[in-house]
Amino acid sequence: MQKLTTVEQFRSLAGESGVTMAVFKTTWCADCHFIDPFMPELEQKYAGRVSFVEIDRDDMPDLCSELNILGIPSFIAFRDGKELIRFVNKLRKSREEIEQFVERALEVADALPNN
């Protein structure tokens, strides 16, 4: 998963015509580390359909404040610079919950007209 280090990188990737899944984490978050083992498999499963990017909430606090990221890990799907759907809460997320969310994000993207 590509780790973003600047707001400009985020805006560029979130502005693409495909679905970009931003995963907000921190280094000290145990629930964030819980998802690490299976995220590469999810990235592979959705390759060509979803681009996954990682954002450390502590490295980009202004962006996270702008996006109202409170709980981590949090997932927000973007396309054409607009938020499609989010999976944001303070609870640990299972692989099944994340897969269901990615599927919902793709359904939302498919239901919207392309810009």
Q: Distance between CA 81 and CA 112 in Å, rounded? A: 13
Give 30: exposed, middle or buried? Use CB within 10 Å, 0-12, 13-18, 19+: exposed
Residues with Cβ within 8 Å of 107's Cβ and at least 6 positions away in sequence, in order, are none
Active-site residue among 13, 21, 32, 106? 32
Residue type, 14: A
For this structure, is 64 an active site residue? no
Active-site residue among 4, 23, 29, 60? 29
For this structure, is 29 an active site residue? yes
Buried/exposed 73-112: b ≥16 CB within 10 Å, e otherwise: bbbbbbbbeeebbbbeeeeebeeeebeebbeebbeebeee
Active site residues: 29, 32
